[in-house]
Chains A and B, each alone.
Chain A
Amino acid sequence: MIKFFLMVNKQGQTRLSRYYEHVEIHKRTMLEAEVIKNCLSRSREQCSFIEYKDFKLVYRQYAALFIVVGINETENEMAVYELIHNFVEVLDRYFSRVSELDIMFNLDRVHIILDEMVLNGCIVETNKNRILAPLFVLDKMAES
């Protein structure tokens, strides 16, 4: 099961956080700070999986942005690693060349995309067209 999904930049600012199990807000801040510290201290040749407390972190870096997913032992690390990339590709398609700013200014949209892909800690959809379908409906409505 996926426990949380984070996007944090190199300065340690959280740009997106989605928890699939309830975590107190002050604990979130602490956890996010620790998680990013863990990722930042690693070099390219280190592996993308970190054992952290009683779960594992799977992370990928895109420019200055880290995407970190916390999982338990029932998930396949490599599958989650590629899930991150699939997510980024969906963002890229929607925002055409996504940047950190797109994510900040369109937090609700990013949330919708993530909710289409991961629900209740499980991967629910991986087909890019179907992931984006509700958003296109939404955008059409907004235009009209």
Chain B
Amino acid sequence: MPAVSKGDGMRGLAVFISDIRNCKSKEAEIKRINKELANIRSKFKGDKALDGYSKKKYVCKLLFIFLLGHDIDFGHMEAVNLLSSNRYTEKQIGYLFISVLVNSNSELIRLINNAIKNDLASRNPTFMGLALHCIANVGSREMAEAFAGEIPKILVAGDTMDSVKQSAALCLLRLYRTSPDFVPMGDWTSRVVHLLNDQHLGVVTAATSLITTLAQKNPEEFKTSVSLAVSRLSRIVTSASTDLQDYTYYFVPAPWLSVKLLRLLQCYPPPEDAAVRGRLTECLETILNKAQEPPKSKKVQHSNAKNAVLFEAISLIIHHDSEPNLLVRACNQLGQFLQHRETNLRYLALESMCTLASSEFSHEAVKTHIETVINALKTERDVSVRQRAVDLLYAMCDRSNAQQIVAEMLNYLETADYSIREEIVLKVAILAEKYAVDYTWYVDTILNLIRIAGDYVSEEVWYRVIQIVINRDDVQGYAAKTVFEALQAPACHENLVKVGGYILGEFGNLIAGDPRSSPLIQFNLLHSKFHLCSVPTRALLLSTYIKFVNLFPEIKTTIQDVLRSDSQLKNADVELQQRAVEYLRLSTIASTDILATVLEEMPPFPERESSILAKLKKKKGPGTVTDLEEIKKERNSDVNGGTESTPVNASTVSTPSPSADLLGLGAAPLTSSSPPPSTTGSLLVDVFSDSASVVAPLAPGSEDNFASPDLASSEVVSEEPADTVHDADELIHKFVCKNNGVLFENQLLQIGLKSEFRQNLGRMFIFYGNKTSTQFLNFTPTLICSDELQSSLNLQTKPVDPTVDGGAQVQQVVNIECISDFMEAPILNIQFRYGGTFQNISVKLPITLNKFFQPTEMASQDFFQRWKQLSNPQQEMQNIFKAKHPMDTEITKAKIIGFGSALLEEVDPNPANFVGAGIIHTKTTQIGCLLRLEPNLQAQMYRLTLRTSKETVSQRLCELLSEQF
């Protein structure tokens, strides 16, 4: 069928396209294209001036060639020339070429700008339209510079044609996106807002996009758009389907505009004005009602358009999160869609319900659909729909249904698509941990995960199960028994061998009484897997074996035989060989006491955010995981059951690679000064070289101190006058947002801290490490509180042993009780004798008011309501200050969370701001605190506002937090 071009037919173009279509192969096509490119090039280069028609024809051909994926490196000049043609058709094709082919950094922009300037000045609406389209599509900085002043005028001028206004609105939007600095807010802003009232719906459609973007960045300036948008929406929603004429689509009045208006309203909290609010609620109710009415048309377009508006209305309802009635109605509506025959609707309903699940008003309503969602997981044919179902199950999970949901997810995992397995594994691991009442269930779940989808169980997942088992002694025996049983399977996943090896190495003794799992049987079972495993797992197993030597002296010789075998001692892998040699040696020469100390049970892991959660967040991007809630749960969780945590002892042989990562070294204060744990070998060497002392030297640098004792004895003292309080407040600030770290260090002494706080109570472990090889005598740390501080802060501690051996570390526990809010910090004074010299060191102890913070989650509306309630001038404290660190959003968020308050997302209309909320617990009272941090990137400044019910609290928190950014 010969196709004929409509309008001014261009034969050459038609022939060329037909030729391309007839090409039998890619090569033939490329050949034909190259021929055509050569032809056009010669035409452009030729002496004969081309007429407008030919230019247009060739430009069309170039466009087509570009579409086929070939770069066009000429013809731009010809296109620019077409811009100045007076014929609309030629001008049009010139602009088309430029907006498709020219990118914003082309050097032709100046020429193009000239043509645009002429067309804008022409007062010919069609020409103006073309020029504005071009700016909207190319939108370079030069264009912004040239036209940013002009376009707002065109947009708000009374005599501008509607179609020109539409283009101008989107043009301005483009310039604002590329170069906001050239588009200053001004008189025009209020007039732009009034375009929402324009008679012409096309203008309103274009203006709404512009206003939405501007309002996100400047919520205050565009506040009035809320009431205008509501009234416009109300007029559309209540109109008869014929009222809006051409803007009615299959009996739905202006669906796209309605969607946009509903989006715009999502930039703001619910309207404050009761009348506006009432009108909006009416609109939303009408939209929900319409979904229940019989359709005005059987056409799918009708229901699609209607549902597009409905889904957007539901998004707004969820965003406001304030009208329980609407939320529950939205939930019921989505529940209906879950069973709809249209896959698209089921998909969108699942997605939308996921956000609904996090609202306190509708969480319960969402939960009623659990069976439908589980069914979707089993029957949906589309993986993306199943994925949404998994997300929703995850979102609706709480203590009441966790067992069911986890079981269903595990079930689904057996047949799940490979693409989503890893994510499901992470989700199951998180839910199992978060909602475990009974930790045996948790252990079973994770082992099931490994059994079903071992390959998708990432390191974080099995690290975490070990962390939890080590920290909870009530589950250790069960865990040992369960892994032992799981390992009986003839083929088990390597991850199971890792978990099994680690757990039996620590707690195998708990099941050794049963003759069916005697030490020898345990060892043989593990060793039967050894040869099937990769090098890192074998390394881990070797560490298990040496731990067995300590746990079960009766099988020591069997293990020594294994270690001694050629396949170990002469293993080609250096790491394995080194371990075999060192472990064998250790088992031979060390006394039982030394073995018992070196191979002591792992100390509990410090409390911290689950690494699995971090991984899921990384996978899904921030925001998709309800991270704050998780973090809060983490902080409060009693995963670290045993609070009498032993200090991280440098001499404990840690099973190498996994523990290294679990500890996350950076966060664990004291290990940071010990030798890198990945080289377990060297750790052991240290033990031997210094075998007189059981404890390994704290710092690798200690030998230097040993080599020059006089330096330590005389100069240090003169360097540090006895009565200085070190670094004054610097130290305090360092610890405001974190609980662990090195508080003080000089050549003699290192002081490490580890602390935890809950409500108005806290406990701080202070570790004093002697960095020298000489004893400290009369070692006396004292806590000093001023009289004022004493009345608000109660500190209790026991004296420590007055002698600290060279290289040794002693620990002191301080119990803290906050009675009322306070400003200063207690002082820690340490006195001791070192090699005949008296030492006196004082440091401030970083116990600050914010440590007694408990985060509070709240919705936007609640936040602002409380914010307003605290409007008394004494309750507010504000500080504007210069940024001392790079202004990184993620770091800022982490600091606010570390500070102790909850970080509330999507509360502040300006997404660049941070808001937080929490409660300061003291014995006498609880003080609600709200905070808001507004960064100004251009000026590199922050404005921090604190509002609390107590003046001194506002003041102190503001002081503390201001130093952090």
* Chain B hits for A101, CB < 8 A: 1, 3
**Complex CA–CA separation, A47 to B259 (angstroms):** 21
Determine if B892 is an interface residue (Cβ-Cβ < 8 Å): no
* Chain A hits for B344, CB < 8 A: 47-49, 77-78, 81
Partner of B126, one of A47, A130, A137, A139: A137
- In the bound complex, do residue B259 and residue A107 qualify as a contact, i.e. CB atoms below 8 Å apart? no
Q: Determine the residue in chain A with the shortest Cβ distance to B385.
A: A47
- In the bound complex, do residue A138 and residue B202 qualify as a contact, i.e. CB atoms below 8 Å apart? no
Determine if A61 is an interface residue (Cβ-Cβ < 8 Å): no
Instruction: Render A104-133 as a binary contact track against B, CB cut-off 8 A, 1 for contact.
Output: 111111011001000110111111111001
* Chain A hits for B174, CB < 8 A: 120
- In the bound complex, do residue A76 and residue B312 qualify as a contact, i.e. CB atoms below 8 Å apart? yes
- In the bound complex, do residue A119 and residue B4 qualify as a contact, i.e. CB atoms below 8 Å apart? no
**Complex CA–CA separation, A77 to B311 (angstroms):** 9
CB-CB under 8 A for A125 and B126, given A74-B263, A111-B100: no
- In the bound complex, do residue A16 and residue B263 qualify as a contact, i.e. CB atoms below 8 Å apart? no
Which residues A1-35 have CB closer than 8 A to chain B?
Answer: 13-18, 20, 22, 25-26, 28-29, 32
CB-CB under 8 A for A130 and B69, given A109-B7, A111-B96: no
**Complex CA–CA separation, A123 to B88 (angstroms):** 24
- In the bound complex, do residue B255 and residue A46 qualify as a contact, i.e. CB atoms below 8 Å apart? no
Determine if B384 is an interface residue (Cβ-Cβ < 8 Å): yes
Determine if B495 is an interface residue (Cβ-Cβ < 8 Å): no
Partner of B246, one of A79, A108, A109, A129: A129
- In the bound complex, do residue B93 and residue A108 qualify as a contact, i.e. CB atoms below 8 Å apart? yes
Determine if B13 is an interface residue (Cβ-Cβ < 8 Å): yes
**Complex CA–CA separation, A22 to B178 (angstroms):** 12
- In the bound complex, do residue B17 and residue A104 qualify as a contact, i.e. CB atoms below 8 Å apart? yes
**Complex CA–CA separation, A60 to B727 (angstroms):** 66
CB-CB under 8 A for A78 and B307, given A124-B166, A142-B8: yes
* Chain A hits for B70, CB < 8 A: 25
Among A18, A74, A107, the most chain B Cβ lie within 10 Å of the Cβ of A107
**Complex CA–CA separation, A32 to B63 (angstroms):** 17
Determine if A82 is an interface residue (Cβ-Cβ < 8 Å): yes
Among A50, A101, A122, A134, the most chain B Cβ lie within 10 Å of the Cβ of A122
Instruction: Render A54-88 as a binary contact track against B, CB cut-off 8 A, 1 for contact.
Output: 10000000000000000000101111011101100
On chain B, the number of residues with a Cβ less than 8 Å from chain A's Cβ atoms is 75
**Complex CA–CA separation, A16 to B259 (angstroms):** 27
* Chain B hits for A20, CB < 8 A: 137
CB-CB under 8 A for A47 and B347, given A108-B60, A119-B136: yes
* Chain A hits for B249, CB < 8 A: 82, 86, 126
Q: Smallest CB–CB gap between A10 and chain B, Å?
A: 14
**Complex CA–CA separation, A121 to B417 (angstroms):** 34
Partner of A125, one of B71, B205, B301, B381: B205
- In the bound complex, do residue A125 and residue B3 qualify as a contact, i.e. CB atoms below 8 Å apart? no
- In the bound complex, do residue B88 and residue A115 qualify as a contact, i.e. CB atoms below 8 Å apart? no
Determine if B916 is an interface residue (Cβ-Cβ < 8 Å): no
On chain A, the number of residues with a Cβ less than 8 Å from chain B's Cβ atoms is 64
- In the bound complex, do residue A128 and residue B209 qualify as a contact, i.e. CB atoms below 8 Å apart? no
Which residues B333-390 have CB closer than 8 A to chain A?
Answer: 343-344, 346-348, 381-382, 384-385
CB-CB under 8 A for A46 and B103, given A105-B5, A120-B137: no
**Complex CA–CA separation, A126 to B305 (angstroms):** 12
Partner of A138, one of B5, B89, B170, B247: B89
Q: Determine the residue in chain B with the shortest Cβ distance to A78.
A: B308
Partner of B256, one of A17, A112, A123: A123
CB-CB under 8 A for A107 and B64, given A46-B381, A115-B133, A134-B129: yes
Partner of A127, one of B68, B137, B206, B246: B246
Q: Smallest CB–CB gap between B59 and chain A, Å?
A: 9
Among B66, B263, B382, the most chain A Cβ lie within 10 Å of the Cβ of B382
- In the bound complex, do residue A78 and residue B348 qualify as a contact, i.e. CB atoms below 8 Å apart? yes
**Complex CA–CA separation, A128 to B256 (angstroms):** 13
* Chain B hits for A128, CB < 8 A: 246
Q: Smallest CB–CB gap between A131 and chain B, Å?
A: 9
Q: Determine the residue in chain B with the shortest Cβ distance to A73.
A: B623
- In the bound complex, do residue B13 and residue A105 qualify as a contact, i.e. CB atoms below 8 Å apart? yes
Q: Smallest CB–CB gap between B257 and chain A, Å?
A: 8
- In the bound complex, do residue B93 and residue A122 qualify as a contact, i.e. CB atoms below 8 Å apart? no
- In the bound complex, do residue B247 and residue A127 qualify as a contact, i.e. CB atoms below 8 Å apart? yes
Q: Determine the residue in chain B with the shortest Cβ distance to A139.
A: B7
Instruction: Render B245-269 as a binary contact track against A, CB cut-off 8 A, 1 for contact.
Output: 0110100001111011001000000
Instruction: Render B212-246 as a binary contact track against A, CB cut-off 8 A, 1 for contact.
Output: 00000000000000000000000000000000001
Q: Determine the residue in chain A with the shortest Cβ distance to B88.
A: A141
Q: Smallest CB–CB gap between A64 and chain B, Å?
A: 14
- In the bound complex, do residue A130 and residue B163 qualify as a contact, i.e. CB atoms below 8 Å apart? yes
* Chain B hits for A102, CB < 8 A: 3, 6
**Complex CA–CA separation, A50 to B382 (angstroms):** 10
Q: Smallest CB–CB gap between A104 and chain B, Å?
A: 6
- In the bound complex, do residue B7 and residue A138 qualify as a contact, i.e. CB atoms below 8 Å apart? yes
CB-CB under 8 A for A82 and B255, given A101-B3, A108-B93: yes
Determine if B280 is an interface residue (Cβ-Cβ < 8 Å): no
Determine if B396 is an interface residue (Cβ-Cβ < 8 Å): no
**Complex CA–CA separation, A8 to B133 (angstroms):** 25
Q: Determine the residue in chain B with the shortest Cβ distance to A58.
A: B344
**Complex CA–CA separation, A18 to B101 (angstroms):** 10
* Chain A hits for B171, CB < 8 A: 120
* Chain A hits for B381, CB < 8 A: 43, 45-46
Q: Smallest CB–CB gap between B54 and chain A, Å?
A: 15
Determine if B92 is an interface residue (Cβ-Cβ < 8 Å): yes
**Complex CA–CA separation, A142 to B8 (angstroms):** 6
Determine if B67 is an interface residue (Cβ-Cβ < 8 Å): yes
Q: Smallest CB–CB gap between B742 and chain A, Å?
A: 40
* Chain A hits for B205, CB < 8 A: 123-126
Determine if A51 is an interface residue (Cβ-Cβ < 8 Å): yes
* Chain A hits for B246, CB < 8 A: 127-130
Q: Smallest CB–CB gap between A12 and chain B, Å?
A: 11
- In the bound complex, do residue A125 and residue B304 qualify as a contact, i.e. CB atoms below 8 Å apart? no
CB-CB under 8 A for A79 and B60, given A74-B263, A105-B4, A108-B93: no
* Chain A hits for B170, CB < 8 A: 119-120, 122, 124
**Complex CA–CA separation, A115 to B126 (angstroms):** 13
Q: Determine the residue in chain B with the shortest Cβ distance to A122.
A: B209
* Chain A hits for B68, CB < 8 A: 13-14
* Chain B hits for A130, CB < 8 A: 163, 202, 246
Determine if B139 is an interface residue (Cβ-Cβ < 8 Å): yes
**Complex CA–CA separation, A83 to B64 (angstroms):** 24
Determine if B104 is an interface residue (Cβ-Cβ < 8 Å): yes
* Chain B hits for A133, CB < 8 A: 163
Which residues B167-205 have CB closer than 8 A to chain A?
Answer: 167, 170-171, 173-174, 201-202, 205
* Chain B hits for A108, CB < 8 A: 60, 63, 92-93, 96
Which residues B575-622 have CB closer than 8 A to chain A?
Answer: 621
* Chain B hits for A47, CB < 8 A: 343-344, 346-347, 382, 384-385
Q: Determine the residue in chain A with the shortest Cβ distance to B163.
A: A130
* Chain B hits for A81, CB < 8 A: 304, 308, 344
Q: Determine the residue in chain A with the shortest Cβ distance to B20.
A: A104
Determine if B14 is an interface residue (Cβ-Cβ < 8 Å): yes
- In the bound complex, do residue B7 and residue A142 qualify as a contact, i.e. CB atoms below 8 Å apart? yes
**Complex CA–CA separation, A14 to B305 (angstroms):** 28
Q: Determine the residue in chain A with the shortest Cβ distance to B306.
A: A78
Which residues B1-25 have CB closer than 8 A to chain A?
Answer: 1, 3-8, 13-14, 17, 21
Can you add 14 more A-B contacts, CB < 8 Å, to A83-B256, A107-B67, A126-B256?
Answer: A22-B104, A26-B69, A43-B381, A45-B382, A47-B343, A51-B384, A81-B304, A82-B305, A105-B13, A108-B96, A123-B209, A124-B206, A134-B129, A138-B89
21 contacts between A and B (CB under 8 A): A13-B68, A15-B67, A22-B103, A25-B71, A45-B381, A46-B343, A47-B385, A77-B344, A77-B348, A81-B344, A85-B301, A104-B21, A105-B4, A106-B7, A107-B63, A108-B60, A124-B205, A126-B247, A129-B246, A139-B7, A141-B89
**CB-CB nearest 5 A-B residue pairs:** A78-B308, A29-B69, A79-B308, A122-B209, A142-B8
